[in-house]
Structure 1
Amino acid sequence: MTSTPPDGFEPVQVGRSVDAVLDRLVTAIAVGDFTPGERLPPERELAVLLGVGRQTLRAALARLRDAGYVATRRGRAGGAFVQEHWGPLSDGAVRRTVAGSAELAALSDARCLLESLIARTAAERRDHQDVEAMRVALAAFVAAARSPADGAAIRRADQEMHRAIIAAAGNAHLARMSRDLLAQLNIGLPIEPYNAALLQLSIEQHTALVAAIEAGDADGAAAVARVHFTITTDAVERAARRAGF
């Protein structure tokens, strides 16, 4: 039986060796996809998310633990918890995993163009139900942001808000394209990095984006989206610079 990906996620097929999976996990932590104190997704979900077998994932997680990046806790609330943002494997893993600067720039440009189109279309097509869904999702995001230590909850709320905006645009192909571009930009993972320092900025941009869409301000919504969706690129580029390339 084929495992079902976590909601909104599809596996991205990349290198399946233990070394490759370890590099991707180390880089995901360096970029901010998973942050210190955060529990990694359950093993089954993480294997599907990475597009790898569970034996390969277990071996990579063991090496991740041995290198001090995660610690395992037992019990109902247990799991693998991130300990270190940057460690002895980070420089090499980031250099091997992150795309070059020219490719990053091209992917970022494509993503900003697409997300601007989605926001513009949502502003032109939204109805009362769409606006209400966006308001509810925005409120959930702001509430999650009040506990900045819970990066996973913030990402879930962020995903729900952008899902509501894509729904308002009324085209399922846009949702697939948005997810795929994020995965290509972010080492094969369709996850938005979380940066506590940028949390307030994200709240302001989300609020402005929803307000513009609700008002039917297509140009305003597109402009906010164009700026907002550089956050992931910035996180990947920061990790690349720290790794020395």
Structure 2
Amino acid sequence: MDSAGDALFRPVRTGNAFEETVERLLQAIKLGVVPPGERLPAERDLATRLNVSRVTLREALHALQESGFVESRRGRYGGTFVCTASPRAVPTTPSRVDDIEDVLILRSALEIGAAECAAMRPLSDEDRAQLRARLSECDTSGLDEYRRKDSRLHLAVAELTGSPSLTAAVADVRMRLNELLDGIPLLPKNIEHSNRQHAALVEAILAGDAVTARRAMTEHLEGSASLLRGFLV
């Protein structure tokens, strides 16, 4: 593996191990570090390089196999190989990259601040019930409705700030974000992880812990950003 491979297969550093592993593997495929038809490094070696468990690595590889980027081959010369015709959702252009980064930066600024503000405000029983209801909707949602229920939860957090202007801004950026999310597959492992992050976020807001709420939202948004950059950039 050349120096580019060493750079891409560096240890994962965030709390979103699955999402960042998917991003790293997609970068290696799209940049040609592992060319079409070639085999990825062995699972043990790759897991060590990325500093993730083999379970996490296998889940990431399964997601890419389901998305058509890699294929698994058995036998003496088996392993995980890059598909010769990997899917391309949309052409990657400088303007599209700029648009993705613009949305992600704006979303981060708005929603991390919203989570912090929501945790700092006194909440009524109705506020608390509404937030728990939105969380429950996400937990029980099927794949076909998940993004809509996810949007409702994030908007509910914004509404708890008591700022109509902030809520409107979060709604606007969420519309742009959902257009991007529609271009990538829904990954069950990511949804499972996302729901755990939602629960931690809601718990922090209900407890009035602004520092933890800010941290929970930051980590949650970083996971989505990793997948968007991996699939679309």
TM-score range, shorter chain: 0.5 to 0.7
Of 200, 206, 222, 1:208 maps to 200
The match for 1:128 is 125
- The answer to whether residue 226 in structure 2 is matched with residue 234 in structure 1 is yes
Percent sequence identity is 24
TM norm structure 2: 0.54
The match for 1:142 is 139
TM norm structure 1: 0.52
CA distance in 2, matches of 1:92, 1:140: 29
Q: Deviation of residue 131 (structure 1)?
A: 1.0
Tell me the secondary structure at the aligned position of residue 91 of structure 2.
helix
User: Once the two structures are superposed, what CA deviation does each residue of 1:199-234 show, in whole Å capped at 9, x if it has no partner?
Assistant: 221111111111110011111111111111223322
Of 75, 83, 106, 1:110 maps to 106
The match for 2:96 is 99
Bigger CA radius of gyration: 2
Give the conservation status (yes or no) of the 8 Å contact 1:179–1:190: no
Q: Counterpart of 2:214 in structure 1: which amino acid?
A: A
Q: In the superposition, relative to structure 1, how do residues 222 and 160 fare at CA in structure 2: closer, same or farther (>3 Å)?
A: same
User: Once the two structures are superposed, what CA deviation does each residue of 1:142-165 show, in whole Å capped at 9, x if it has no partner?
Assistant: 122xxxxx3222223222222221
Q: Any unmatched runs of 5+ in structure 1?
A: 1-83, 145-149
Q: In the superposition, relative to structure 1, how do residues 141 and 107 fare at CA in structure 2: closer, same or farther (>3 Å)?
A: closer
What CA RMSD, in Å, does the superposition of the two structures yield over aligned residues?
A: 3.2
Q: In the superposition, relative to structure 1, how do residues 224 and 140 fare at CA in structure 2: closer, same or farther (>3 Å)?
A: same
Q: In the superposition, relative to structure 1, how do residues 91 and 190 fare at CA in structure 2: closer, same or farther (>3 Å)?
A: closer
Tell me the secondary structure at the aligned position of residue 169 of structure 1.
coil
Q: In the superposition, relative to structure 1, how do residues 138 and 191 fare at CA in structure 2: closer, same or farther (>3 Å)?
A: farther
Q: In the superposition, relative to structure 1, how do residues 235 and 175 fare at CA in structure 2: closer, same or farther (>3 Å)?
A: same
Q: Deviation of residue 141 (structure 1)?
A: 1.5
The match for 2:189 is 197
Q: Deviation of residue 114 (structure 1)?
A: 1.2
Tell me the secondary structure at the aligned position of residue 99 of structure 1.
helix
CA distance in 2, matches of 1:189, 1:240: 9
The match for 2:148 is 156
Q: Deviation of residue 134 (structure 1)?
A: 0.8
Runs of 4+ in 1 over 3 A off after TM superposition: 84-90, 102-107, 182-194
